[in-house]
């Protein structure tokens, strides 16, 4: 939340309540607008425990279909469908992703028609896929259910409840014995308990976790009357004359004043406030936010405070107070990540990305740094706001920019916080100026299916590697570095396989991942692609999967190996191909 609230209140879309025209439908006769998309296949949950039965539904009239269940390109089972709602109990192995697809019965090629991924994981922290909600107006259950169903189709397994609370220092409105039915949030919106409760229950019904959001050190102007001591604050001077504050103009109700998160009295105070939250709301954990590097700061006694070194004790105190709750903390532009957050009790790593981390390479570096900071035991979610400048006004998200950035993040083992009631393009999560076209929703779903189906080779161990990949037909391949006008390769090495990702920057007009003005170009598909690389063992099998091809279903590839030289023929490259070499 570093830049916090570059508000665009002039737009009628920004702070609206539930959308009355959800399907972008005009008058009779009904016509579906540009934002409409209805997935063909759905599952009843976002994630399943080992041994749990999965229920699928397909919105299609064809009654001559079969279903195939696959794991990393290998067929597990196939069977004809007698109806368009069916169940499957997958193998009991924990932490696996599967690709499930439909094909025409009798088609010997088993050409995929529709596909969906399934995540079998007993613990969401292994493969976090974070989403959000940000509007707590008086929503009916149908609106809540619709939003959560959308997140379910993206396999979101954890939801951040952004700005759900009343005051930062006193998040619960009312009391434990008499919680308020409604309250004003920081910007003056009316939030409703029924909506917060409704979202929590709907999330739990889909197997998702619900995380309440709050700063770790925020106090509003009324904090003294709520028991916040003057001696807990952070100051810009060593004479405790000027409190550090984050200035907020109207319609915000108050500036945010910063207290020392390492102060034990503050920790006791805010943990009691959070205890009240957990007593009233069935949240699963705490999403901890910060404001980034604040410069030189002092405590009340005049002692200089190294803010990033105070985060670890705050997290430890919160985890001690709530050992059964999940904890995630935002490292704003990595501030505090290495010095205390990553090694603390947080359950996965989360970073909000700002300048000067502009390039695709810098996104990769953040993910790889986090792997190291977390001792290779914690995966990363990036809050990386796309089309940031464009989000000042109403419009549509630029599809090529989003798909290229997701390809880079996913190929390197990260996840992207972007899906909520709307697509996220701003640090003020309620900003919904930019919408997803239906065609973009469809492609994004394919990318999330891909991330889930192949999570065991994307973000489940292995070692990042740079392979020396060359291309034919005068194609330039840049290994490990994203370069305009070329194909970029990223690699991961496992004991019995190597994974090579190819991302198409051949037509890219910017190498800044944010695509802030929404002008990134769609890449032209490259056909007849052949790659060569050195290997040290005999290759048993090579296969390809791409979110841009055959619904992400694996495709066997032809190969030729002469000694240590391996040549592979690919069917084509649009945005992102993943090539898996098995030994």
pLDDT at 123 over 50: yes
Beta partners for 214? 288
Which pLDDT value is given to residue 27? Answer: 40
Q: What angle do CA 191, 192, 195 make, to 5 degrees?
A: 115
d(C-alpha 410, C-alpha 66), whole Å: 30
| Measured distance between the N- and C-terminal CA atoms of the chain, rounded to whole angstroms | 45
The one-character DSSP state at 233 is B
pLDDT at 7 over 50: no
Nearest-CA neighbor of 460 among 505, 513, 497?
A: 497
d(C-alpha 86, C-alpha 75), whole Å: 19
Which pLDDT value is given to residue 25? Answer: 38
Confidence band of 16 (pLDDT split at 50, 70, 90): very low
Find out whether the peptide bond into 29 is cis, omega within 30 degrees of 0. Answer: yes
Which pLDDT value is given to residue 33? Answer: 82
Confidence band of 32 (pLDDT split at 50, 70, 90): low
d(C-alpha 330, C-alpha 350), whole Å: 5
Which pLDDT value is given to residue 2? Answer: 56
d(C-alpha 554, C-alpha 546), whole Å: 8
pLDDT at 96 over 70: yes
Q: Extract the runs of DSSP E, i.e. beta strands, from 282-422.
A: 285-289, 297-298, 304-305, 326-332, 349-352, 380-383, 395-396, 415-416
pLDDT at 8 over 60: no
pLDDT at 206 over 50: yes
pLDDT at 14 over 90: no
pTM over 0.85? The answer is yes
Which pLDDT value is given to residue 496? Answer: 97
- Average of pLDDT values for 391-402? 97
Q: Extract the runs of DSSP E, i.e. beta strands, from 291-419.
A: 297-298, 304-305, 326-332, 349-352, 380-383, 395-396, 415-416
Which pLDDT value is given to residue 472? Answer: 83
**Could you tell me the domains of the chain?**
48-120 (2.60.40.10), 130-383 (3.20.20.80), 463-582 (2.60.40.1180)
Average pLDDT over the chain reads 95
CA distance readout (Å), 11 to 33, 391, 392: 20, 10, 8
289-332 tens-digit pLDDT: 999 999 999 999 999 999 999 999 999 999 999 999 999 999 99
- Average of pLDDT values for 31-56? 93
Which pLDDT value is given to residue 19? Answer: 38
Which pLDDT value is given to residue 474? Answer: 76
- Average of pLDDT values for 486-491? 98
Which pLDDT value is given to residue 11? Answer: 36
Assign 296 to helix, strand or coil. coil
Confidence band of 70 (pLDDT split at 50, 70, 90): very high
Confidence band of 3 (pLDDT split at 50, 70, 90): low
237-288 tens-digit pLDDT: 999 999 999 999 999 999 999 999 999 999 999 999 999 999 999 999 999 9
456-484 tens-digit pLDDT: 999 999 999 999 999 987 789 999 999 99
């Amino acid at each position: 939340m570093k830049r916090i609230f570059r508000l665009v209140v002039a737009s009628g879309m920004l702070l609206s309540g539930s959308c009355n025209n959800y399907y972008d439908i005009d008058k009779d006769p009904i016509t579906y607008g540009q934002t409409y998309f209805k997935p063909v296949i759905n599952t009843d949950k976002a994630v399943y425990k080992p041994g749990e039965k999965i229920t699928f539904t397909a919105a299609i009239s064809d009654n001559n279909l079969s279903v195939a269940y696959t794991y990393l390109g290998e067929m597990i089972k196939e069977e004809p469908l007698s109806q368009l709602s069916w169940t499957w109990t997958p193998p009991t192995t924990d932490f696996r992703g599967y690709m499930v697809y439909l094909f025409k019965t009798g088609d010997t090629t088993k050409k995929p028609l529709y596909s969906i991924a399934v995540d079998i994981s007993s613990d969401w922290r292994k493969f976090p896929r974070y989403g959000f909600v940000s509007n707590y107006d008086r929503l009916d259950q149908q609106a809540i259910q619709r939003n959560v169903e959308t997140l379910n189709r993206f396999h979101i397994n954890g939801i951040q409840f952004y700005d759900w609370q009343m005051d930062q220092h006193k998040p619960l409105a009312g009391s434990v014995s008499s919680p308020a039915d409604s309250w004003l949030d920081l910007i003056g919106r009316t939030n409703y308990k029924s909506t917060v409760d409704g979202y929590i229950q709907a999330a739990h019904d889909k197997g998702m976790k619900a995380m309440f959001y709050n700063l770790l050190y925020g106090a509003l102007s009324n904090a003294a009357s709520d028991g916040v001591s003057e001696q807990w604050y952070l100051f810009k001077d060593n004479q405790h004359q000027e409190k550090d504050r984050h200035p907020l103009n109207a319609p915000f109700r108050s500036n945010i004043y910063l207290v020392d998160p390492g102060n034990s009295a503050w920790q006791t105070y805010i943990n009691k406030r959070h205890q009240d939250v957990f007593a009233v709301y069935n949240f699963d954990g705490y999403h901890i936010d910060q404001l980034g590097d604040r410069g030189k700061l002092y405590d009340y006694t005049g002692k200089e405070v190294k803010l990033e070194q105070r985060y670890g004790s705050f997290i430890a105190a919160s985890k001690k107070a709530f050992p059964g709750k999940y904890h995630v903390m935002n490292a704003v532009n990595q501030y505090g990540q290495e010095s205390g957050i990553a090694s603390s009790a947080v359950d996965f790593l989360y970073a909000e990305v700002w300048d000067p981390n502009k390039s695709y390479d810098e996104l990769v570096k953040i993910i790889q740094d986090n792997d190291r900071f977390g001792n290779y035991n914690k995966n990363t979610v990036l809050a990386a706001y796309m089309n940031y400048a464009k989000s000042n006004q109403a419009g549509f998200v630029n599809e090529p920019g989003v798909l290229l950035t997701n390809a880079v993040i996913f190929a390197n083992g990260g996840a992207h916080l972007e899906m909520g009631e709307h697509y996220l393009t701003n640090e003020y999560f309620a900003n919904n100026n930019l919408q997803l076209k239906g065609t973009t929703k469809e492609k994004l779903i394919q990318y999330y299916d891909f991330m889930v189906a192949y999570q065991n080779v994307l973000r489940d161990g292995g070692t990042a590697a740079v392979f020396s990949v060359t291309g034919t037909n005068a194609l330039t391949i840049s290994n490990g570095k994203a370069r305009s006008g070329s194909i970029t390769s990223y690699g991961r090495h496992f004991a019995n396989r190597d994974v090579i990702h190819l991302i198409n920057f051949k037509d890219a007009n910017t190498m800044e991942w944010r695509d802030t003005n929404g002008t990134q170009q769609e890449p032209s598909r490259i056909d007849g692609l052949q790659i060569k690389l050195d290997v040290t063992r005999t290759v048993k099998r090579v296969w390809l999967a791409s979110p841009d091809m055959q619904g992400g279903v694996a495709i066997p590839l032809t190969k030729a190996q002469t000694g240590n030289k391996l040549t592979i023929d690919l069917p084509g490259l649009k945005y992102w191909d993943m090539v898996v070499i098995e030994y």
